[in-house]
Chains A and B, each alone.
Chain A
């Protein structure tokens, strides 16, 4: 018995030692990685975007970048600096975005980029949460009377080089034994221009891009987007691999947008929620706990994000609803969609 007691005491001691060591190894503040460090020292976020996709990312008549993808960047800047305008934008094409990420030319990229395994590994990047669940479609001139993909046998199809779209096109047509001639361009503008001029019979891209660009064609009603969707295109922001503190900031900023929508917190009413009694909301808005500190951000970082760009639904309604894009899968999980944020605790 005595021996047992001694052993117990020893185990207790060891346990306490382990716990205390464990406690010691938990940092008082978040471990800041090289990218976060660099971005914070610069005081500005360098964000790679598209400038040819109205609704997602383009330049308005005042020369400002606007769109759904742009607001994701603005949200991250607001989380980091409390100011959504501390951003330097870099326009990237589908074909040159990979080298811009690999070389560290941009800190974060937010431009209709599909999350794939190859890109995850070979581009050496970390993808953030999917902000827009998309799928690849086709747009054809109405006068051709094309109803489905099989009707496109022998057609010339415009596609943007270096996209997953280009790969899916070849895969799908090969699998179904449909002949086609691809004509590849390096940007949305050149590709959609060539389609409109008649160089191609059809153009393929993500459904969202087709909807966005159809609105800019001279006679949008002359063109029809086929119902068939041939792929999954999860689009979202991404950062270079190797700094978890930075990818965590990206991830949790996007989750904050989802979470705010789920809780009904908007840019208009966020101030009122500050006095909420709901412990979940108090924690989320930094009134309680240390979530901001864990990320190396200000306690009220989520408040800054929501004030700057609103919640996910607000961003969607501001940029995409006017184009006629339906929410579809991009609803909160509580409303039948698949946008889902892990708990803020």
Chain B
């Protein structure tokens, strides 16, 4: 042992020192990146100068002057920036609903493919293989032109109970319009629920939890009815769509374009998620089932307590990728005219002529959205990953 420590520590020459070499490589890399970036910038500025175009973002304040089909309230007299924000909100709205529905669909299909039921298994296999192997653009156009546009015209809409209407313009459904009395009502109802519970616990401790909750519910319901009758305006009004000369008025509408994008993204990504789910369950070793049975767990408990937590660990990183892909695929909305952020941006580019600036903004926005989603998924991943003790 002494011979080892007594050996003189040999200091390698600096060009052979691994630590220094690593730093040098990194510096070289940074310089390379800067040089490439510099060349690109140089190229851009000289091209713009040759064309006599100035670079800048001031144009975002000019009024957009074009209409947008759907989204948050917007008027054509508002700025390009506002139009862009409408697009971002539409993208987020479309992506988030699609992610939720695709996950649900993927879970169901994935589990169905592993099921012992022959029909469910075959059906899930066929659906998965069809949508997984067709380009997402074709799926979106199939839903739009092949399905939605061939639905009945708006005047002959399918009606469900006189409340929901389905036509080639999309889906019209009743909306809930809040009035100024909504917040007081919510406060009153919450207070009542808390009060009744407290009263019951103090006076009638013999009442079981099911009965107690029913009593609270009944009290809140009665009070709610009273609010609706007594207040000058109902706190929440149900607005049922009514067919007007051209269109439905009132209610909310999921436009044909939105519905087509939603269906396209959900069926495509849902099938990928189904494969992720199936793969994750298959990756949990069979021995886990056997071991659980050996300690006397039921099938359901085994699934819930042993298999799912392990499968989830494998699933989440792949799900993250699927979600990010879905968000990027939502830019295909331009094919069916849904006003997502890319569609609106390309209109802005065309109307203002500012391609370089707008592409910079588009890329930055997608990057920001995807980084946030990625961050969220990594956080979840950290929560479910195997904690080794």
Contacts and interface: CB of A to CB of B under 8 A. Distances in A.
A221 interface: no
27 contacts: A94-B350, A96-B346, A118-B352, A122-B352, A123-B353, A155-B247, A161-B343, A161-B347, A162-B349, A166-B347, A167-B66, A171-B65, A173-B67, A174-B75, A180-B67, A181-B69, A181-B247, A183-B69, A184-B343, A184-B347, A194-B337, A197-B150, A197-B168, A199-B168, A199-B169, A240-B51, A241-B52
A186 interface: yes
Contacts of A180: 67
Contacts of A190: 337
Residue with the highest number of chain A CB atoms closer than 10 Å, among B246, B347, B351? B246
Nearest to A151: B245
A201 B69 contact: no
Interface string B329-364: 000001101010001001101111111000000000
A122 B354 contact: yes
Interface string B68-85: 110000011100000000
Interface string A167-204: 10111011000001111111000100110011101000
A95 interface: yes
B355 A184 contact: no
Contacts of B145: 193, 197
A123 B352 CA distance: 8
B343 A98 contact: no
A305 to B, nearest CB: 29
Given A119-B353, A122-B352, A124-B53, 15 more contacts: A97-B350, A98-B355, A122-B354, A124-B51, A170-B67, A171-B76, A180-B67, A181-B69, A182-B66, A182-B68, A183-B255, A197-B145, A197-B150, A198-B149, A201-B247
A198 B168 contact: yes
A131 B195 CA distance: 79
A182 B69 contact: yes
Interface in B245-281: 245-247, 249, 255-257
Contacts of A322: none
Contacts of B65: 167, 170-171
A156 B343 contact: no
Contact of A166 (B50, B67, B244, B335): B67
Contacts of A96: 346
Contacts of A171: 65, 76
Interface string B306-350: 000000000000000000000000000011010100010011011
A242 interface: yes
Contact of B350 (A98, A198, A199): A98
A246 to B, nearest CB: 14
A162 B67 contact: no
B246 A154 contact: yes
Contacts of A193: 145
A99 interface: yes
Interface residues on B, range: 35 or more
B153 interface: yes
B291 to A, nearest CB: 58
A203 to B, nearest CB: 13
Contacts of A161: 334, 337, 343, 346-347, 350
Contacts of A123: 353
B245 A154 contact: yes
Contacts of A267: none
Nearest to A194: B149
Query: Which 6 residue pairs are nearest across A and B when measured between Cβ atoms?
Result: A122-B353, A162-B350, A124-B51, A170-B76, A182-B67, A197-B149
Interface residues on A, range: 35 or more
A102 interface: yes
B216 interface: no
A196 B77 CA distance: 30
A121 B75 CA distance: 26
Contacts of B76: 170-171, 174
A159 B154 CA distance: 19
Contacts of B53: 102, 122, 124
A326 B341 CA distance: 41
Interface in B130-164: 145, 149-150, 153-154
A123 B52 CA distance: 10
A65 B81 CA distance: 39
B256 A199 contact: yes
Nearest to B255: A183
Contacts of B153: 198
B351 A162 contact: yes
A94 B351 CA distance: 10
Contact of B149 (A102, A199, A242): A199
Nearest to A155: B246
B40 to A, nearest CB: 14
B66 A170 contact: yes
Interface string B151-192: 001100000000000001100000000000000000000000
B247 A184 contact: no
Contacts of B66: 166-167, 170, 182
Contact of A156 (B52, B68, B246): B246
Nearest to B170: A199
A118 B51 contact: no
Contacts of A183: 69, 255, 257, 337
Contact of B339 (A99, A118, A166, A184): A184
A162 B355 contact: no
Contacts of A194: 149, 337
A99 B355 CA distance: 7
Contacts of B247: 154-156, 181, 201
Contacts of A186: 334-335, 337, 346
Interface string A86-119: 0000000011111100100000000000000011
Interface in B61-113: 65-69, 75-77
A205 B338 CA distance: 19
A199 to B, nearest CB: 6
B30 to A, nearest CB: 30
Contacts of B249: 154
Interface in A53-98: 94-98
A180 B66 CA distance: 12
Contact of B337 (A152, A185, A201): A185
